[in-house]
Chains A and B, each alone.
Chain A
Amino acid sequence: MAKPDASDEQKKFDVQHVAEEVFSSEQREDIWALIVVLGIFLLSVAFPAQVHYFFSSMLYLF
């Protein structure tokens, strides 16, 4: 049986590393999404009319 060579091991490590990196970034995105929505929720509770006006009128030029 052929022994796995060093480059195979390196490739395996690279794929594992990329997957871990991407998944920790996916989790980071998820947590940021929750934080952003929490911020929007709190602003909407405190200033509903202003939040609505900002996003549905003020940001538009036309």
Chain B
Amino acid sequence: MKRLKHLLVPDWGRYVPGFLFCLGFAYFGMNLDRLIRNLHNADVAWATFLWESAQLNYVAILLFGGILIRNTLPLPKVLYPGIGVARPIIKPGIIILGVHYVWADVIRVGSVGLALTVVFIFGTAMIVMWWCKRWGVSDGLGGIMGAGTGVCGVSAIIATSPVVRASPIELAYAIGTVLLFGTLMLFTMPYIGSGIDLSESQFGAWAAVAILNTAQLVAAAEWYGTEARDTAVLINVARIMFLPLVVLFALWFYILRTGKQEPGQEISKWQLVKDKFPVFILGYFLLVLLNSMNLESLGRPTVTGSPFWAMNAVYTWCFAIGFAGIGLSISLSDMKKAGGRAFSIGMVAALVKMVLGLGVVLLIGSQLLRVTGA
């Protein structure tokens, strides 16, 4: 009963108006996407320009539209809490995407992704922490920036903050910086990818390495194409599994290694791993398993009339609601909070990861990064 109670927040009513607003906005975005696509198919010139040249699909409509609404219209403050809870609706979408994969994909793309993850995630976290230590940056800021630029942005920063004892101002700077660079990458990388003719699977891998936030990387990859999204989601799953390990690394690097742990304040490492593990990816792997078993009763996303075919129609709506939440929560004033040393650390780490990541995916090629689903 206590666990059930934990699922509902006591003041859940305050989330309703903003969430409904996001649902309405997502509905509008999806229908506008369909209208533009239909007109483009009917050879209407302006629709073809919007669809093909400007790449104005539902992702762009919801992201750009959301930012425009949030930063130009006087949105009532009562909507803000609900807008915040729309973003995680991407998670059910990611779980449902499990029906697109079979174990062969997970092993082939996942093992490349795992290697990329280990090199880039741990490489970034370790180098940033070591570099910060060398340059006299406080343990608190160095720890949260190492985790934040290495793994999944804001979640990693918040997960690591109590372990490395970051101050509230360091937390604000770090979160502002990660949001700023995540947003910049979300809007520039798809255009850079198209500009240099990057294949969809290569773009998906590049986004999964370079963009810190799960929701933002799913948005960028979905914007680029379905193949890009499938690769990005699989590599991202490999990446977020490492979050508990990065927190453990920060604990060792700043506290255990240096003997700074105070008596009576021992931290249970197993509890730490358990608390920070992203449980939702278990659902994703369960669907991959069921899809790989090729059960006749569940079918495939391509088998008309089967349960997996039905589920496959739902995930885009989950993404649309989440993207509406992302667009509407990007506040330019929040990003102005990026500053101090966090800004320089974030900028160097983000740029190095972006350039090196691009080089590596170009070397790997498309074949190893392609999700076939069969």
> A interface vs B, CB < 8 Å?
11-12, 14-16, 18-20, 22-34, 36-37, 40-41, 43-45, 47-49, 51-52, 55-56, 59-62
Contacts and interface: CB of A to CB of B under 8 A. Distances in A.
Given A15-B165, A51-B310, A62-B31, 13 more contacts: A15-B161, A26-B155, A26-B278, A36-B92, A37-B283, A44-B311, A45-B297, A48-B310, A52-B309, A52-B313, A61-B31, A62-B34, A62-B35
Interface stretch (B190-198, B229-237, B300-308): B300-308
Interface of B: 6-7, 9, 27, 30-31, 34-35, 38, 88, 91-92, 94-96, 155, 158-159, 161-162, 165-168, 171, 275-276, 278-280, 282-283, 287, 297-298, 305-311, 313-314, 316-317
Given A19-B162, A31-B279, A60 B307 contact: no
A28 B313 contact: no
B88 A33 contact: yes
Contact of B30 (A22, A27, A30, A60): A60
Contacts of A62: 31, 34-35, 38
A58 to B, nearest CB: 11
A33 B276 CA distance: 16
A11 B162 CA distance: 11
Given A14-B168, A22-B158, A41-B307, A33 B7 contact: no
Contacts of A27: 275, 279
28 contacts: A12-B165, A15-B162, A15-B168, A19-B158, A19-B159, A23-B159, A23-B275, A25-B9, A27-B275, A28-B6, A28-B9, A29-B280, A30-B279, A30-B280, A33-B88, A33-B91, A33-B95, A33-B283, A34-B95, A37-B96, A41-B307, A44-B307, A44-B310, A51-B311, A56-B313, A59-B27, A60-B34, A61-B35
Contacts of B298: 45
Nearest to A16: B162
A47 to B, nearest CB: 8
Interface of B is mostly: helix
Nearest to A21: B158
A26 B310 CA distance: 28
B310 A28 contact: no
Q: Please give me the 7 A-B residue pairs with the lowest Cβ-Cβ distance, nearest first.
A: A33-B91, A44-B310, A48-B310, A30-B280, A55-B313, A51-B310, A29-B88
B317 A40 contact: no
